[in-house]
Structure 1
Amino acid sequence: MSRNTTESDEPNSTKLTRRRALSAGGAALATGIAGCAGLTGGGGSGGGSSSDGSGDGGSSGDVEIDYWMYFGAQEREEMTALIEDFNAQDNGIHVNAQGIPFSEFLNKLFTAVNSGNAPHVASYYGSYGRHLKPITHSIDDYLSDGAANKYFDIAWENLQVDGSTYALPIDIHGKALYTNDSVLESAGVDPDFSDWQAFSEACDTIVSDTDSRAFSFLNWNSGQAAFRAYIIALTQAGGDIVTGDPGSYEVAYDDDVGMQTAELMSKVTGDFGWDTPQFQSDSARVQDFLAGDLGMFIAGTWSVNNFENESGELPEGLDFSFQKPFMFPGDGDEVAWCESNSLYFPTNSNHTDAEKQAAVEFAEYVTQNNTLWASAGGHLPAAKSVATSSEVKNTALWQDYGTISTMYEMVSDGQVRYQPKTSVHINSNRFWGPFMDMYLQNTDVQTGVTNSANALQQALDQ
């Protein structure tokens, strides 16, 4: 919900209740292991295929806008509240929202466009602009004056495809290093890792001096999780997923740097012995981290949602930090993977110009007034004024745990990077399942990388 950052965790401030989150100026975090199911985490079913309370129809004469979203849990509640606020403005526009399960979202969206039944607005990842370009329209003619200046430059630039704007960003979320500071303290390890040698020595010490495993590359049992973590290490090693220009991309991670990075990833569960090559469940690494059986793992800003119990509280005694993940070896760039939940505008010949204008007006409102999005989903709002507002800065995720504040630092310092904007569904397990197989010691690195690279190149060439 879909990966990041640093930390503040005061020993007496490790329990985040819903009441405290609200008093800090933010909405409560999402409950349960699913977190942002299907959203930034990429798993689960997301919102059900149903209408939300915002779809009862507007006043006679209102321009009616249909919006599809895949958000689950608290994110869905927050988006629904934003829609209700927008509808209450009596501006001649009424938005009808529908939840679509994330696992079905892309297929349903393409089908709806092809059958002439597409909604006016649809959520999806910002890096998917080239993949979605054939079924969406640009919005430059409908944007308000100065709209581009409202958002972080990196988010805005990511939404440009062939010089045109195809979406508006809701947030910026990313992956980084979570540390269980109780485990590190038991091992006598300082969580401030300046390089791979220091990190490796810390991992070895955790294994030798505690009963915990040291580090997991993955936070979830999925190829997408492997892809996002691999990108972080690959970029720091100086490698790339693809090279060339859109339309003529060449897969690049099957070179020496890519192979060496994959070998390092595989050694975490192999020669290094820092993690086990098994998943007892999809969320096993989260559960191990909470139980103190895992010292560190790569996970997203939103993953703090997964730490909560059924009462919406962090477990008693959980002491964790969120660190920038710049410990991997190599001479490449110190950047972390990032993504943006965004709002696209599907093509439909039945949509009038007035409806298209209304759709963009709605999207601008949602993306520039979402102060609760940080605590609802664990994401940094993409609008600069929202991200730096007191409502966001006073949340526990900014003040006490450092997930949002660290993400803000990385975005401000140019330390995040989006995945390549390709014409294919690049998050597909078809391409990254082999990396899971490597991590679980089910295949060797040469075979795994080659199978992955060949599958992606074949898709890009079609």
Structure 2
Amino acid sequence: MLDGNNRTSRIDRRSFIAAAGAAGITGLAGCSGFGGFGGGNGGGSNGKQTIEYWTLFGGGDGKAMEKMVNKFNESHDDITINRQRLPWDQYYDKLYTALTGGKAPDLAVVHASQLAVYQDVLQPLGDLVNDETADGYVNSIWKQVQLNGDRLSLPLDTHPVGIYYNKSIFEEAGLDPEKPPTSAKAFTKACNTITSETDKQAFSPTPYGPGELLRIYLAFLRQSGGQLLNDDKTEAAFNNEKGVAVAKYFSNITGDWGWDKPEMSDNRWEKAFYAGDLAMVANGTWFYGPANDQDFEFGMFKPFVYPDGNQQYTWADSHTLAIPMNPNRSDAKQKAAAEAARWLTQETNIWGTDAGHLPASQSILESDDLRQSNVWNKTLSTFYEMADNNALAYVPRTSTVDTYQERITDNLAQIYSQQISPQKGIQQAAQGVNNALKNNN
């Protein structure tokens, strides 16, 4: 599955709240519990609650979520989840329309990076999330669903980025396929060896297109001690020596070093990896299934390979389950939605074993079923080490997160394709970010 959180509609908070206010939703933003709701149809005549649940998962992720929902429905007599899958590239547009039109689902997937955009129309979970439930999640992931003191959602996972590699190409280049590079020096040597000894492309920091370049840019920036935004999230913090240095690294990949071609087209690198023409590509947890389906053996390693890096960080985001506000939803249905979110995030390991994501639940992470699975051995054990060592770098959350990220990725794409110098690209990106942040204040 291509994780679509960097391609959401660009909704700034001001226009969102204005639209939501017209629909009568904004007035609920101060609610912290569930007691004030009523008047809605809580369920059928037999008291059974039907929860309308929206997801954006397709491919292997979609099949895994379908399996999870079916298992929930089979094990509950009083609650039924009605899952509706929307295309990932349309999901946030449709969720926005539903929220501003007063037709919100009872439960919805919201990326952790998007919580600041939607915070005023998501029901704070309040006392429905007790300490026992909260303590069940990995602490570093649990922190990502809290904003301004509110618990806004329950985390389903974290999905960091690692570097996947084709073991056959390593063998062809004379490299040991069982010993992937673990340092910047070894990584550079591996890329240069693949470039000189084979006709393959050595490495790409994006699997799908321009939108994903920010992931490794953020990882390398944080590895070198840099930041995307300043501490109060009012302006760009990468228009400096560290930010330009990472951009130069990107430019060298398709320029002086020749590790990749300076061509930007959607899915070029994913297709090249499947075809056996690309040795290494940065990608997330969701890539386990597609990589495992190829006719060559793959490996995955931590992306701590930036030459100027002395810290360990990789990009990450989380799928979370949130309850959109609805003044007509009954207390009983609110509670049922919260229970569905708790169960889906804490009571089954399918999201890890079948979808390949790193579960947010501590008990699932420690379960024998997960730790004895092939996905644990191939990828999740490595991703877990990074999560357990607080090596996950989430993008700074603001109400303009999509807009400011686009300003960066547009310029990174020009840098990567040799259309603009690293210095000019970073300067333009920073100015775009500053304008986006300023216009929303």
Inter-partner Cα distance in structure 2 for 1:455 and 1:252: 12
2:289 aligned to 293, 300, 305, which one? 305
- Aligned counterpart, 1:238: 225
Asked whether 1:158 is paired with 2:136, we answer no
2:202 aligned counterpart, secondary structure? strand
Structure 1 residue aligned with 2:411: 434
- In structure 2, distance between residues paired with 1:395 and 1:59: 43
Instruction: Give the Cα separation in 2 of the matches to 1:194 and 1:71.
Output: 32
- Secondary structure at 1:326 match in 2: coil
In structure 1, distance between residues paired with 2:57 and 2:300: 24
Tell me what 1:444 maps to: 421
Cα offset for 1:362?
Answer: 0.7
1:18-417 equivalent positions in 2, closer than 5 A: 36-39=1-4, 60-190=46-176, 191-223=179-211, 225-245=212-232, 248-279=233-264, 282-307=266-291, 313-315=293-295, 318-399=296-377, 402-417=378-393
State the AA in 2 paired with 1:265: F
Report deviation, 1:213. Answer: 2.0
Instruction: Tell me, in whole angstroms, the C-alpha distance in 2 between the residues paired with 1:95 and 1:405.
Output: 31
Q: Secondary structure at the match of 2:94?
A: helix
Q: What is the alpha-carbon distance in structure 2 between the residues aligned to residue 290 and residue 260 of structure 1?
A: 31
Deviation, 1:243, is 1.3
CA drift of 1:59 comes to: 6.6
Question: 1:169 is matched by which residue type in structure 2?
Answer: P
Q: Find the residue that maps to 1:260 and give its secondary structure.
A: helix
Per-residue deviation at 1:173?
1.1
CA distance in 1, matches of 2:44, 2:383: 38
How many angstroms apart in 2 are the aligned matches of 1:290 and 1:115? Answer: 42
Which range moves more in the overlay, 96-105 or 79-88?
Answer: 79-88
SS at match of 1:456: helix
Task: Map Cα deviations across residues 57-90 of structure 1 (whole Å, 9 max, x no partner).
Answer: 9673223322111111232222223223323344
Residue 41 and residue 387 in structure 1: after superposition, are their counterparts in 2 closer, same or farther (change >3 A)? Answer: farther
In 1, are the aligned partners of 2:125 and 2:152 still within 8 Å (CA)?
yes
Give SS of 2:244's match. Answer: helix
- 1:195-224 Cα shifts (integer Å, max 9, x gaps): 32332222222211222222112211132x
- Cα shift readout 1:128-147 (whole Å, capped 9, x = no counterpart): 22122022121022114411
Residue type at the aligned position of 1:333: Q
Query: Across the two proteins, how many residue pairs are aligned to each other?
Result: 402
Structure with greater helix percent: 2
Alpha-carbon distance in structure 2 between the residues aligned to 1:372 and 1:102: 20
Secondary structure of 2:272 counterpart: helix
Change in Cα spacing, 1:188 to 1:90, as seen in structure 2 (3 Å) is closer
Alpha-carbon separation, structure 2, partners of 1:240 and 1:201: 28
**Which amino acid letter does the alignment assign opposite residue 255 of structure 1?**
N
Give the conservation status (yes or no) of the 8 Å contact 1:286–1:306: no
Q: Work out whether residues 397 and 404 of structure 1, in 8 Å CA contact, stay in contact via their aligned partners in 2.
A: yes
Whether contact under 8 Å (1:178, 1:298) holds in the other structure is: yes
Query: Which residue type is aligned with residue 120 of structure 1?
Result: D
Secondary structure of the residue aligned to 1:351 is coil
Q: Take 1:197 and 1:405, find their aligned partners in 2: how far apart are those partners? A: 24
Change (3 A) 1:457 1:91: farther
Amino acid at match of 2:206: L
Amino acid at match of 2:330: T
Which TM-score applies when normalising by structure 1? Answer: 0.81
Separation in structure 2 between the aligned mates of residue 431 and residue 91 of structure 1, nearest angstrom: 49
Gaps of 5+ in 1: 1-35, 44-56
Q: Structure 2: which 5+ residue stretches go unaligned? A: 9-42
SS at 1:150 equivalent: coil
SS of equivalent residue, structure 2 residue 324: coil
Code of the residue aligned with 1:370 in structure 2: it is: T
Residue 401 of structure 2 is matched in structure 1 by 425
Cα 1:257–1:354 change in 2 (3 A) is: same
Aligned Cα RMSD in Å?
Answer: 2.2
Contact 2:68–2:350 (8 Å) recurs in 1: no
Distance 2:263 2:210 in 1: 12
CA contact (8 A) 2:207 2:267 kept: yes
Aligned to 2:214, the other structure's residue is in SS state helix
Partner Cα separation in structure 2 for residue 260 and residue 169 of structure 1: 34
* Alignment partners' CA distance in 1, 2:221 and 2:44: 50
Deviation track 1:203-254 (CA, whole Å, cap 9, x = no partner) reads 222211222222112211132x101111111111111111122xx4321111
CA distance in 2, matches of 1:102, 1:202: 35
Compute the TM-score of the two structures, normalised by the length of structure 2: 0.85
How far, CA to CA, are the matches of 1:273 and 1:415 in structure 2? Answer: 29
Distance in 1 of aligned mates of 2:274 and 2:3: 22
Distance between the aligned counterparts of 1:129 and 1:291, measured in 2?
A: 37
